[in-house]
Amino acid sequence: MKKILISILATTALFTSGYSQTFISQTIQNDGLTRGYSIYVPASYDGTTNFPLLFNLHGGGGTNSAWQVTSDMRPIADTADFILVYPQARPDPSDGNSFNWIPKVPGTFDDVPFFSSLIDTIASNYQIDQNRIYACGYSLGGDMTFELGCKLNNRIAAIAPVARTMQANPNSFCSPVHPTGVLTILGTDDLVSPYNGIVFGGLEYYISAAATHSYWATHNNCVTTATMNTVSPSVERYTWSTTSGCAYVEELKVIGGGHDWPGSFGNMTIDANTEIWQFVSRYDINGLIGCTTTSIYENNGQTDNYKAFPNPFNHELTIELKSAQSNDFSIYNVIGELVTSGKLNSQVNTIDLSSLAPNVYILNIENQSIRLIKTK
């Protein structure tokens, strides 16, 4: 049993009406700063069982103390048995010391190491399931949630950003290494984080919802077309799955929704807290629990129906089909835009791709995708 559990719970946690325990305020030292966070440990925790860990991140300029009231997930943690953490963002010197996860001026700081240290600290004090660590967040906290899914992917099993799409050019910063569950909750009329992304002065700052989902669906080797189910008159659920039926990407599209956390403010026909836990809890660090699959980063240039080589390649790519049947091929960039397509008329085909710029691309044949790297 972790050494500080009994003393913390005995001396600090007070029982309150409706909840097993209260939040415990803690601090750690990171990057020369004292960083705060609130942690909630359900009464069912006794140190003999590894509990999942969920981070819930407040929006830009906010505080964890206010956000844990707005997005209070304690009732869910009590029944689902997970440890809940609300970290505090740091002062951003490039933005008047406002509390930000992402600095206003790029390069001012990087908060990903803070979360890695925070995981280590919590793991030294509690028995956590290192294969089931999750992150969710609102607005700029959603931005940071994407950062964790991209840059701390070796420790984060699934993410759920709310009211935020991905930053532009995700291939320049996003390096997921395993199949990763991704849930988004986005309002179509969000004026702060527009559904169709942000372009200003001819520069793209945030990609659209469609491009965000396409990026993660491609990474998770999902088919490109989502299935849709109506949740309520104002909410639609879109799901991207692999050919074997493993669902990895979901969007809760709030029709007419704004910059909201549904169930707490804005749309009240769904509850973001409940939706988030129900989604992320289905995943561990290897992907969807009980569903065997690989991401495009793990299939080594081949699928059940074809292989492509060399990979990385310079100018020409050879595609060898498992059968002699002709097939169409499509190549996309990492945000899901089609860059070239054609027909494969024989079992072994050599394609001239010298016109493509050096970058990462996705080859899709019969809804099976692999990652290509063009070096010259």
pLDDT in tens, 105-117: 988 999 999 999 9
The pLDDT of residue 360 is 75
Task: Write down the architecture of domain 306-374 according to CATH.
Answer: Sandwich (2.60)
Residue linked to tokens 């709030």: 254
In the prediction, which pLDDT does 294 show?
60
**Confidence tier at 2 by pLDDT (50, 70, 90):** low
pLDDT above 90: percentage of residues in the chain: 73
Supply the pLDDT for residue 285: 94
Domain ranges, ordered by start, for the chain: 5-288, 306-374
359-365 and 368-374 beta bridge pairing: antiparallel
In 188-326, the DSSP E strands lie at 198-200, 203-206, 227-232, 235-241, 247-254, 283-284, 287-288, 306-309, 316-321
Q: Is the pLDDT of residue 13 over 80?
A: no
Q: Which residue has the tokens 């609102």?
A: 138
What phi-psi label fits residue 143: left (phi over 0), alpha (psi between -120 and 50 degrees) or beta?
A: alpha
Q: Which pTM does this prediction carry?
A: 0.79
Place of tokens 């300029």: 61
Return the minimum-mean-pLDDT range out of 61-75, 124-138, 359-373. Answer: 359-373
- The full DSSP string for 175-223 is ---S--EEEEEEETT-SSS-TT-EEETTEEEE--HHHHHHHHHHHTT--
Query: Would you tell me how many other CB atoms lie within 10 Å of the CB of residue 127?
Result: 17
At 277-325, the pLDDT tens digits run: 999 999 999 999 988 666 655 556 677 789 999 988 888 999 999 887 7
From the number of C-beta atoms within 10 Å of its C-beta (0-12, 13-18, 19+), residue 65 rates as middle
Q: How many CA atoms lie within 13 A of 196 on its CB side?
A: 3
- Taking 60 as the threshold, does the pLDDT of residue 148 lie above it? yes
Render pLDDT for 176-201 as a digit per residue (tens, 0 to 9).
Answer: 989 999 999 999 999 999 999 999 99
Mean pLDDT of the chain: 90
Domain 5-288 matches domain 306-374 at the CATH topology level: no
Is pLDDT of 14 > 70?
A: no
* Minimum mean pLDDT range among 76-90, 188-202, 353-367: 353-367
**Separation in Å, CA 196 to CA 42, 122, 163, 205:** 39, 37, 12, 11
CA distance 199 to 208: 10
Given this model, what pLDDT does residue 15 score?
A: 37
Report the pLDDT value the prediction gives residue 362, as an integer from 0 to 100. Answer: 82
The class level of CATH for 5-288 reads: alpha beta
Q: Is the peptide bond before 233 cis (omega within 30 degrees of 0)?
A: no
Tokens of 275: 């939706």
Helix, strand, coil share of the chain (percent; to 5): 20, 35, 45
Burial of 342 (0-12, 13-18, 19+ CB in 10 A): exposed
Compute φ and ψ for 143, nearest 5 degrees.
Answer: -60, -45
